[in-house]
Amino acid sequence: MGEFDLIRRYFLPLVGQRESRSLLLGPGDDCAIQRIPPGRDLVFSVDALVEGVHFPRNYRPDYLGWRALAVAASDLAAMGADPECFTLALTLPAVDECWLESFSRGLKSASEAFGLALAGGDTTSGPLTLSVQVHGTVESGKGVRRSGARPGDLVAVSGTLGNAGAALDYLSDPAPSADMLAVLEHYHRPRPRLDLAEAVRQFASAAIDISDGLLADLGHILAASEVGARINSDRLPLSPALSRLKEGRAIDYALRSGDDYELCLCFSAENWDRAPELLKSQVTLIGTVEAEPGLYLDGEHWALEALPSGFDHFRSES
Amino acid sequence: MGEFDLIRRYFLPLVGQRESRSLLLGPGDDCAIQRIPPGRDLVFSVDALVEGVHFPRNYRPDYLGWRALAVAASDLAAMGADPECFTLALTLPAVDECWLESFSRGLKSASEAFGLALAGGDTTSGPLTLSVQVHGTVESGKGVRRSGARPGDLVAVSGTLGNAGAALDYLSDPAPSADMLAVLEHYHRPRPRLDLAEAVRQFASAAIDISDGLLADLGHILAASEVGARINSDRLPLSPALSRLKEGRAIDYALRSGDDYELCLCFSAENWDRAPELLKSQVTLIGTVEAEPGLYLDGEHWALEALPSGFDHFRSES
């Protein structure tokens, strides 16, 4: 099977998985065309995933297809944007029809689940690498940035933290406990918080998705907003499985591990008061924004530079 | 140097290389934001480049930086779109500052030359692979597709053909002739025909950029438009260097080799008559569109399926 047949068989079925309100022309021409409705902005983000770096070697292709789109879609949720479409640049060592069938199945489930239609792509031979760019839209000027946190704001996180990080330690466990099966699901099937996007853009002053761990990603908000924060680790929301881990380990996962793709959000007290119960039921307040730079974690002060700066793919060379 | 310093040092200087009329928020947040002016459509395309597949191993990084953006920008020209901005997903085996300095210099020259501002990206470790997505805009509904060719239209190509293909055969020549130095420049510094974009969208009925060779790319227009064509190889525009090659070789390069990133265009007779001299001086008429499917090349009929279908990265496996 050649490149063109491959695209036709495995990827074209993903076109128009949903009514994309804005996609006028999908794959097959020199470019795709999107018509952004008047009064809305285009919001877009690209993520690269490399075998052996962002996902394990010989990772299940259907999990990979889901994951590639989930990771990128999470950035749309963090801006408060509604999903529209995506492009996929896929580099494959060889045409393995079983692999492609499984990969495209995972990608299709994610495409349906997240409401993202395939707009275009490029498929070539080479080491297994994916690059996914997602496009969303938001009312003009309403995209939520990292830089909007103000002293007095409340700091919140969605869902529960640390599950995917714990899962990574159990990926090769041949007989995982029921608890670990539950957290493995978080790693294999991350669910970007697109369900919160509307509430984020209506109520949040700043937002980021937690891909590198809470300390690193909250650090990015604090740096961009030129503020500090005070948070308490005993307020961090944990899943039942993590709560049963030995003391300290769950908190460590929750503070330092990413891959959950939950959101870290800031709200002015006024906006928090008028936020709907639907939002409040999905997020947990963990602290406050302060004027003094740096982070007070359980009363201990960390300079911003002392916080982990996120997963650095080149740290060994630095 | 870590990933974040690397981005700061080598890539942030590319932001706002030009006044992008539409880019509201560039790199550094979860997403970039673009505001498409009312009455215009977003036009976008992604291209992946893999070392050893799309460019030689140990290729000069400044050439690579230029090439990556040129290849992608060429798709905008083929739609008749005006360039706006781009994203870059870059996978690098290691941080080599000399490499990065040279690569970002090449990318910056291209960014300035093509009027494309850096909007965002992702940098990770892995085998050398690039994925570039370009964004342009066009008056709503005016994006030129492959499917618009009609019987009676004239077939034209821009510039001269076959230069980059000839260059590929001389890349490792230690002492190239003056002729070959001239064609090598075509390979190393492809110039997407953004200068023709406005004329393309005003006058062309169908367009494609010639990345896989004239036969393959004209074949894509004929397939999408459900028409045929009649062309004469003695009308193919050749550079002086190629004209001096032994008979037949230049024509073969012109018909079958890509990488020139010139345009293949169709015009109704009426539109051709009223096209400006500026356009006519840059393109050469090589034939006509016919109702009968397939291609008459110098009087010999080729079924559409018999035309090369473009460079197929997986053909060896098919």
Which of A1, A33, A75 is opposite residue B30, by nearest beta carbon? A75
Average pLDDT over every residue of A198-209: 97
Superfamily classification of domain B3-139: PurM-like, N-terminal domain (3.30.1330.10)
**Domain A146-317 CATH class label:** alpha beta
pLDDT at A21: 76
Q: Which CATH architecture has domain B146-306?
A: Alpha-Beta Complex (3.90)
DSSP-assigned letter for residue A285: E
How do beta strands A40-50 and A32-34 pair? unpaired
Residues of chain B in contact with residue A90, where contact means CB-CB under 8 angstroms, are: 48
- What is the predicted ipTM? 0.92
Percent above pLDDT 90 for chain A: 75
Look at residues B15, B183, B29, B316 and name the one whose alpha carbon lies nearest to residue A43. B29
Chain B residue with Cα closest to A220: B29
> In this predicted structure, what is the pLDDT of residue A1?
61
pLDDT tens profile A136-173: 999 999 999 999 999 999 999 999 999 999 998 887 77
How many Cβ atoms sit within 10 Å of the Cβ of residue A304?
16
Across the range B273-283, mean pLDDT stands at: 95
Best of B6, B129, B131, B142 to substitute, by most chain A Cβ atoms within 10 angstroms, is B131
pLDDT digits (tens, 9 = 90+) for B63-95: 999 999 999 999 999 999 999 999 999 999 988
Does the pLDDT at position A36 exceed 70?
A: yes
Which pLDDT score, from 0 to 100, does residue A247 have? 73
Q: How far is B129 from chain A (nearest CA, A)?
A: 8
Q: Give the number of C-alpha atoms closer than 13 A to the C-alpha of residue A292, restricted to the C-beta side.
A: 6
Instruction: Tell me if A34 sits within 8 A of A84, measured CB to CB.
Output: yes
Tokens of A194: 């697109």
Closest CA to B304 of B312, B292, B316, B315: B292
- Going by their DSSP bridges, the two strands A40-50 and B32-34 should be labelled as antiparallel
Tell me the CB-side half-sphere exposure of residue B174, using CA atoms within 13 A: 0
Per-residue pLDDT, averaged over B31-46, amounts to 96
Q: How confident is the model at residue A181 (pLDDT cuts 50, 70, 90)?
A: confident
Composition of chain B by helix, strand, coil, percent to 5 = 40, 25, 35
From A41, A51, A224, residue closest to B33, measured CB to CB: A41
Q: Do A46 and B120 touch (CB under 8 A)?
A: yes
pLDDT, tens digit (0-9, with 9 covering 90-100), for B132-179: 999 999 999 999 999 999 999 999 999 999 999 999 888 777 888 888
pLDDT at position A180 over 50? yes
Question: CA B209 to CA B51: how far, in whole Å?
Answer: 22
Is the confidence at residue B316, as pLDDT, over 60? no
Q: What is the pTM of this model?
A: 0.93
Q: Where are the domains of chain A?
A: 3-139, 146-317
pLDDT at A264 over 80: yes
By C-alpha distance, which of A78, A79, A69 is closest to A112? A69
Residue B128: pLDDT band (50, 70, 90) is very high
Examine the pLDDT at B16 and tell me if it is beyond 80. no
The pLDDT of residue A310 is above 80? no
Pairing state of beta strands B129-139 and B204-209? unpaired
Mean pLDDT of chain B: 91
How much is the pLDDT for A316? 43
In this prediction, residue B237 carries a pLDDT of 97
The pLDDT score that the predictor gives to residue A285 is 98
- Mean predicted lDDT score pLDDT of chain A: 91
Residues B218-244, mean pLDDT to the nearest whole number: 96
Per-residue model confidence (pLDDT) at position A149? 98
Task: Please tell me the distance from the alpha carbon of residue A257 to that of residue A261, in angstroms, as a whole number.
Answer: 10
For B7-39, letters b (16+ CB in 10 Å) and e give: beebbeebbebeebbbbbbbbbbbbbbbbbeee
* Residue A314 pLDDT: 62
B48 to chain A, closest Cα gap in Å: 6
The mean pLDDT of A100-116, rounded to a whole number, is 95
pLDDT higher than 80, residue B248 = yes
DSSP β-bridge partners for residue A34:
A23, B42
Q: Is A171 or B127 the better-scoring residue by pLDDT? A: B127
Question: What is the pLDDT at residue B317?
Answer: 35
